[in-house]
Amino acid sequence: MSEVDLTTAIIGISLAIFTTLCFNLGIVYQKKGLKEAKLQGVEIKTEEGFIRIIKTFGKLFTVRSWLIGAIMGIIGWFPYIISIGMVGVLVTEPVMATGFIFFVPAAMKILKERVGIIEYIAIGLLTISPILIGFAGISDVELDLIEFVPSLIIFLAISLSVCIFSLTMAKKRRGKSIEGLFIMFGGAILFALGGSATNILAQALQQTGEGFQWYTLFELPFGIFWFLFGGGIAHLWIFLGFWMMAAFNISSLPYYQGGFQKGKILIMYPILDSIALLLPITAGIFVFKQTFSNFPLFFIALICSVFATIVLSKYQAAVESMDSIESDSDKESSEPTKPSTDLE
């Protein structure tokens, strides 16, 4: 496989940096909006059903901070798709993971959140690991839109099974400190699958050979008609890739947003980001057939990501437990002392 040329790499990486700026600042503003909404009695509760979730998000759209974050996230999707099309998911995702450079200061400034030295080390490892992946010598994308289907089906089956298990465990651990983590893991997997679907969409758009035309916006949701009228297999995967991207991203929203609302964003977001990095990279290797010329460097980066995620997960569980204890003690102290009755 050929390597990506320098000009294409620079443009693709620049677009990925702009994307991660939008995504990371958007997430911080959404967290701020979720905190404000909770004070107003608006809370995401995935266990209360689809209709209740829709109503909750309808109320969130009236919260200014949350809406700003959502708009920034939507803006970031366009350069994200273009970047993946130019340099592949194995370059775009690692570059985007360096967004902690924007994210941590923003979370500390806007949300007033703090973490300890061990957690800073873990966050640092998650920031360094994608840089190592970037130097691992990633091949160009050469996706066969027919031969990759069996690998895609296996990948989706395994990923969705893990997701369902995580969300089931969250339901069983409802009200406990670990609930938010299981919700976040499940939502992060769905979000990462949305990233993988975006890769399919980007590669299919490239293989049409038509570039981005005025009618492409119509082809995204209605590409099935281009295929039926002799447009070729790439048009079918534009249609499937778009709707897979939409389905996975929309379904992930209540879960990872619920995770943000239940825990510290400086802990929850690195977990979301590491899964959103590793799962598309796994798909890049086994489904999209991209390779590394320096696999040991990739393996070191993988170990760093897994270790950091475990550290942050344990810290989040401890924080949730302490918050629960403090909340209970506050309730007890706020209760008026009942006067004792003298029976004598």
Q: Please spell the DSSP secondary structure of 198-263, one letter per residue.
A: HHHHHHHHHHTSS-S-TTHHHHHHHHHHHIIIII-HHHHHHHHHHHHHHHHHHHHHHHHHHHHHHS
pLDDT of residue 155: 93
Q: Is the dihedral of CA 211, 216, 221, 222 positive or negative?
A: negative
pLDDT in tens, the chain (344 residues): 555 667 777 888 888 889 888 888 888 888 888 888 888 888 777 666 778 888 888 888 888 998 998 899 889 888 888 887 777 766 777 677 666 666 667 767 776 766 677 767 877 777 677 677 667 766 666 678 888 899 999 999 999 999 999 989 988 877 776 777 888 888 889 988 988 898 888 888 888 877 667 677 788 888 888 888 877 888 899 899 999 999 998 888 888 877 777 766 666 777 777 787 778 778 877 887 777 777 788 778 778 777 776 666 565 545 444 444 444 455 555 555 444 444 44
* Interatomic CA distance for residues 256 and 321, integer angstroms: 20
* Interatomic CA distance for residues 107 and 208, integer angstroms: 41
What the block records as the tokens of 326 is 């403090």
pLDDT of residue 101: 64
The DSSP call for residue 114 is: -
CA triple 27-258-100, angle to 5 deg: 30
CA triple 116-73-123, angle to 5 deg: 20
What is the pTM for the complete model shown? 0.66
pLDDT of residue 113: 64
* Interatomic CA distance for residues 72 and 20, integer angstroms: 10
pLDDT of residue 343: 40
Q: Which helix (H) or strand (E) holds 32?
A: helix 6-39
